[in-house]
Structure 1
Amino acid sequence: MPDPVPPRFTPHLLVMWPPKTLVPRPPDPARGSNSFVTRPDRQGHVEHLLGGLEDAARASAAARDRAAPSERASGFAIRVEAAEGHSLDPDKLANSGLTLMSVRQATETSPQEALIWIPDARLPAFTEKISQFTEDTPGGHPKQNAAVANAEHIGRPAFDKLWQEDTPAPSADEQRWWELWFDPRLTEADQIATLQRIAATNGWQMTARSIRIGEYRVAHVATTGAQLMTLFDTNACPSEIRRPSFVEEVHTVARALQYDLAADLADRLEPPAADAPVVCILDTGVRQEHPLLKQALADRAQSVFANEEPGDHAGHGTQMAGLALLGDLAAALESNSAIRLAHGLESVKIVPKRITHDDTPRAHAEVTVEAVSNAETARSEQPRARVYSMAVTEHSTPDRNGSDGRASLPSATLDALAAGTSLTVHDDRIELIDAPDPALSRLIVVSAGNVRDHLIADLQQDDGTLHHLGHCDLSRIEDPPMPGTS
Structure 2
Amino acid sequence: MSENRYDNLFVNNEVDSVPYTSKLTGRNAQMPDRDRRNHGLHLKRQLDRLWEEAKEIDESRSAVSLPVRQGTYIEFESSPEFDLASKSLEDRQKNIRLLNIRQVQVNEKTVNKATVFVPKGKENAYLKKVTDYLQEETKKGNPKNQRLINSIENIKLAVLESFWPPSHINWIPLDEPEWCEIWLSSHDTQAEERFRTLIKQTLNLPIQPETLRFPERSVILVKANRKELKEIIMSSADIAEIRKAAEINSFFIDMENSEQSEWAKELSERLDIDSDSNVCICILDTGVNNGNILIEPFLKDEDRHTYNDDWGIDDHSGHGTRMAGVSIYGDLKDALESSDKIKIYHNLESSKIIPLNGENDPKLYGAITASAVSNQIISKPEKKRIVCMAVTAPKYETGDGSPSSWSAAIDEITSGAMDEEKKLFIVSAGNINESNEWQTYPESNLTLSVQNPAQSWNALSVGAYTEKTEVESRQYENMEVVAPNGGLSPFSSTSFIWDNKWPIKPEVLLEGGNALKDSFGCYTSEELSSLTTFYKPFERHFDYINATSAATAKAAWMAAEIQAKYPDAWPETIRGLMIHSAEWTSAMKEQFLDGNKKEDYRKLLRICGYGVPDLNRAIYCLNNSVNLILQSELQPYDKVNGSYKTKDMHMHELPWPKDVLLNLGEKKVKMKVTLSYFIEPGPGEIGWKNRYRYPSCLLRFDVNGTDTKESFLRRINAAVEVDDDDVDSSGSSVKWLYGKQSRHLGSVHTDVWEGTAAELATSNLVGVYPAIGWWRERAWLGKWNKTIRYSLIVSITTEAETVDLYTPIATSIKTTVPIEN
TM-score bucket of the superposed structures, by smaller chain: 0.7 to 0.9
Amino acid at match of 1:318: T
| Contact 2:199 2:207 (C-alpha < 8 Å) held by counterparts | no
Q: 1:445 and 2:426 equivalent?
A: yes
Alpha carbons of structure 1 residues 188 and 317: separation in structure 2 relative to 1, 3 Å:
closer
Most deviating of 172-181 and 251-260: 251-260
**SS of structure 1 residue aligned to 2:209:** coil
1:163-312 mapped onto 2 (5 Å cutoff): 163-169=164-170, 170-184=172-186, 189-247=190-248, 250-253=251-254, 255-256=256-257, 258-259=259-260, 260-299=262-301, 300-312=303-315
| Contact 1:271 1:340 (C-alpha < 8 Å) held by counterparts | yes
| Contact 1:280 1:389 (C-alpha < 8 Å) held by counterparts | yes
* In 2, Cα distance between equivalents of 1:192 and 1:67: 25
Aligned to 1:99: 97
Alpha carbons of structure 1 residues 278 and 344: separation in structure 2 relative to 1, 3 Å:
same
Deviations 1:303-351 (A, max 9, x none): 1121122211222111111111101123311223333421111111112
Amino acid at match of 1:105: Q
Amino acid at match of 1:334: E
| Contact 2:366 2:406 (C-alpha < 8 Å) held by counterparts | yes
Deviations 1:382-426 (A, max 9, x none): x22111111222356xxx777422111111111111111236xxx
| Contact 2:77 2:155 (C-alpha < 8 Å) held by counterparts | yes
| Contact 1:171 1:225 (C-alpha < 8 Å) held by counterparts | yes
**SS of structure 2 residue aligned to 1:179:** strand
**SS of structure 1 residue aligned to 2:34:** coil
* In 2, Cα distance between equivalents of 1:47 and 1:87: 20
Most deviating of 409-418 and 161-170: 161-170
* In 1, Cα distance between equivalents of 2:10 and 2:206: 44
What TM-score do you get using the length of structure 1 for normalisation? 0.78
Alpha carbons of structure 1 residues 126 and 64: separation in structure 2 relative to 1, 3 Å:
farther
* In 2, Cα distance between equivalents of 1:202 and 1:29: 45
Amino acid at match of 1:354: N
Aligned to 2:317: 314
**SS of structure 1 residue aligned to 2:242:** strand
Aligned to 1:41: 38
**SS of structure 1 residue aligned to 2:105:** coil
Unpaired runs of 5+ residues, structure 2, are 1-6, 12-24, 443-464, 471-482, 499-504, 507-546, 550-821
| Contact 1:265 1:333 (C-alpha < 8 Å) held by counterparts | yes
Aligned to 2:494: 476
Q: 1:81 and 2:77 equivalent?
A: yes
Aligned to 2:747: none
Q: Indicate the percent of aligned positions where both proteins have the same amino acid.
A: 24
Aligned to 2:738: none
* In 1, Cα distance between equivalents of 2:269 and 2:350: 23
Q: 1:111 and 2:111 equivalent?
A: yes
| Contact 1:403 1:476 (C-alpha < 8 Å) held by counterparts | no
* In 2, Cα distance between equivalents of 1:305 and 1:322: 24
Q: 1:137 and 2:134 equivalent?
A: no
1:417-432 mapped onto 2 (5 Å cutoff): 417-422=413-418
Amino acid at match of 2:390: A
Superposition deviation, residue 29 in structure 1: 12
* In 2, Cα distance between equivalents of 1:334 and 1:461: 18
* In 2, Cα distance between equivalents of 1:401 and 1:101: 22
What CA RMSD, in Å, does the superposition of the two structures yield over aligned residues? 3.8
Alpha carbons of structure 1 residues 277 and 163: separation in structure 2 relative to 1, 3 Å:
same
Q: 1:332 and 2:329 equivalent?
A: no
Alpha carbons of structure 1 residues 62 and 476: separation in structure 2 relative to 1, 3 Å:
farther
Alpha carbons of structure 1 residues 44 and 395: separation in structure 2 relative to 1, 3 Å:
closer
**SS of structure 2 residue aligned to 1:112:** strand
Aligned to 2:366: 365
| Contact 2:466 2:488 (C-alpha < 8 Å) held by counterparts | no
| Contact 2:71 2:120 (C-alpha < 8 Å) held by counterparts | yes
Alpha carbons of structure 1 residues 394 and 228: separation in structure 2 relative to 1, 3 Å:
closer
Aligned to 2:407: 411
Superposition deviation, residue 13 in structure 1: 11
Amino acid at match of 2:488: G
Alpha carbons of structure 1 residues 189 and 61: separation in structure 2 relative to 1, 3 Å:
farther
* In 2, Cα distance between equivalents of 1:79 and 1:363: 28
Most deviating of 462-471 and 82-91: 462-471
Alpha carbons of structure 1 residues 150 and 175: separation in structure 2 relative to 1, 3 Å:
same
Deviations 1:114-133 (A, max 9, x none): 11111223222332112223
**SS of structure 2 residue aligned to 1:100:** strand
* In 2, Cα distance between equivalents of 1:235 and 1:39: 36
| Contact 2:273 2:344 (C-alpha < 8 Å) held by counterparts | yes
Deviations 1:229-255 (A, max 9, x none): 222243453100112124465533255
**SS of structure 2 residue aligned to 1:285:** coil
* In 1, Cα distance between equivalents of 2:337 and 2:189: 66
Question: How many pairs are equivalent?
Answer: 437
Superposition deviation, residue 228 in structure 1: 1.5
* In 1, Cα distance between equivalents of 2:469 and 2:120: 72
| Contact 2:353 2:368 (C-alpha < 8 Å) held by counterparts | yes
* In 1, Cα distance between equivalents of 2:134 and 2:47: 13
| Contact 1:293 1:321 (C-alpha < 8 Å) held by counterparts | yes
* In 2, Cα distance between equivalents of 1:391 and 1:32: 41
**SS of structure 2 residue aligned to 1:181:** strand
